[in-house]
Structure 1
Amino acid sequence: MNRPLVIAHRGASAYAPENTMSAIKKAVQLGSDGIEIDVQLSKDGHVVVIHDTTVNRTSNGNGKVSSMTLEQLKTLDFGSWFSKEFKNEPICTLEEVFDYLKDWDGLINVEIKKEWFQFNSIEKRVVELIDKFDIRNKIIVSSFSTLSLLTIKRLDKDIPTGILYSSPAKEFILLAKLFKIDAIHPWYKDVTKDMKEAAVKGNIKIHTYTVDDVVEMKKLAKLGVNGIITNIPDVALKALNNL
């Protein structure tokens, strides 16, 4: 049995502050097969790596990411909330991440975060950066926004995409087939044997999130998922390499 890819969620976010270069470097160091990060657009059009629409939870600042320039975001401390060891950890840009990972041979999962009815040029900027670093062969762009994924496909049909969702709806496999989306990214508790069979028939991969329980990891591996997104990639690798 081929084990699933172990994809570090927001970097190795159990060991370093999520979506920072420290978490990304830790994920590489631990031997992760892939790294998942979240991206949004700053006020001045830079693709920055952060999950929330505001900086409040993961920095010492306040306010919306979209209302701050990159220069303003770079003045904030994105590490101290996690531990003193990471004091003054700056926000990173997608460009900085791609530059760091350009010679790494793992999968980079870029998740586009968008609020409903938010219209900006983030998809265009992400595609431009993928082009700049010529890393199309190790990228998957995912989002809860079908519109974002369709925009990516319109800009470059060869960039792999994955649709995220948190309900056990088989319609998402039909949606993926209809829109030529390459993978589904369901919540791990929603993954079933039927879903796996339907995905195989549609030539669609399953990358499931966010799995930190070893028993669940093994169960999902036996079901045949293609990737497991986890905060603890070292634990996952140890568990799945012994199957």
Structure 2
Amino acid sequence: MISFQRSIELGATGIETDVQMTRDGHLVLIHDETLQRTAGSPEWVKDLTLEQLKLKEVGAWFHEDFRGEAIPTLEQLLELAQKHEIIVNLELKNGIVQYPEIESKVIEAVRKFGLSERIIISSFNHYSLVLCKKIAPDIRTGILYMEGLYEPWNYAAGIGADALHAFKYAVTPELAAEAARHGIPYHSFTVNDSAEMKALMDAGVAGIITDYPDRLAALLAEAGG
């Protein structure tokens, strides 16, 4: 949670995070399917209960100052979002692990906190995005992909998606302009270099996902927006 709070302090207008599910059906926010990298444990998120997961210390791997940080729940982030005018991009991490009913559970949580208008659900699993649209047509979805998607605005329209969440190298000014003409914005990831941020802004992307919101905020301030 400390990273989410700090990103807002640094000027982030939105938060992107990955959603997974515990063995007992709770939604938690963590990138990796296992705890090896962040907690030094080979266990999988899907195999632990929320109570077991909360006992894992996941801050010290990054810096000793963050020792004691725990894996947050989706509800904790949504509570934070209620206090700030931010967008929340929830990536359903259901490529390797097929979490049952994760789509409906995430949407239920979003509805509970009254944040439907400020949520974007993204995933590399595009079947999951189609299901989300069937459950909640009003909640925006974003297609995650790495490269070479032909006429992605047409593909987005075909599955009812609202945005293209493309890897930074899969965006060109021509693609961004054509997608915009079709009403489909680009949100590129993960862009940490200021020069790359500037190039993508010039290319016409609508949003940038970065680990350094202060760098992006500075560029936006220079550009007057």
User: In structure 2, what is the Cα distance between the partners aligned to 1:125 and 1:83?
Assistant: 33
Per the alignment, residue 106 of structure 1 pairs with 86
Per the alignment, residue 59 of structure 1 pairs with 39
Per the alignment, residue 114 of structure 2 pairs with 134
What TM-score results when the alignment is normalised by the length of structure 2?
A: 0.95
User: In structure 2, what is the Cα distance between the partners aligned to 1:59 and 1:171?
Assistant: 41
User: In structure 2, what is the Cα distance between the partners aligned to 1:98 and 1:117?
Assistant: 23
**What is the deviation of 1:169?**
1.6
Unaligned runs of 5+ in 2: none
**Does 1 or 2 have the higher relative contact order (CA < 8 Å, sep 6+)?**
1
User: In structure 2, what is the Cα distance between the partners aligned to 1:103 and 1:176?
Assistant: 32
Match of 1:75 among 55, 59, 67: 55
Greater displacement, 111-120 / 155-164: 111-120
Asked if the contact 1:170/1:195 (under 8 Å) is kept, the reply is: no
User: In structure 2, what is the Cα distance between the partners aligned to 1:100 and 1:191?
Assistant: 31
User: In structure 2, what is the Cα distance between the partners aligned to 1:172 and 1:58?
Assistant: 34
CA RMSD across the alignment: 1.2
Per the alignment, residue 230 of structure 1 pairs with 210
User: In structure 1, what is the Cα distance between the partners aligned to 2:66 and 2:96?
Assistant: 33
CA offset digits 1:58-103 (Å, max 9, x no partner): 1133211001100000000010100110111111000111012212
**What is the deviation of 1:171?**
4.1
Per the alignment, residue 149 of structure 1 pairs with 129
Per the alignment, residue 4 of structure 1 pairs with none
More helix per residue: 1 or 2?
2
**What is the deviation of 1:213?**
1.1
Per the alignment, residue 31 of structure 1 pairs with 11
Asked if the contact 1:59/1:78 (under 8 Å) is kept, the reply is: yes
CA offset digits 1:26-64 (Å, max 9, x no partner): 011112111101110110000100011111111133211
Q: Which amino acid aligns with 2:7?
A: A
**What is the deviation of 1:194?**
2.2
Per the alignment, residue 181 of structure 2 pairs with 201
Per the alignment, residue 50 of structure 1 pairs with 30
What TM-score results when the alignment is normalised by the length of structure 1?
A: 0.88
Asked if the contact 2:33/2:45 (under 8 Å) is kept, the reply is: yes
**What is the deviation of 1:117?**
7.2
**What is the deviation of 1:170?**
2.4
Identity %: 39
CA offset digits 1:101-157 (Å, max 9, x no partner): 212111110011012572511111100001100101111011101011111111111
The yes-or-no answer on 1:161 pairing with 2:168 is no
CA offset digits 1:191-223 (Å, max 9, x no partner): 012211221122111100011111111111111
Kindly report structure 1 stretches of 4+ aligned residues shifted beyond 3 Å.
none
Unaligned runs of 5+ in 1: 1-20
Q: What SS class does the counterpart of residue 141 from structure 1 fall into?
A: strand
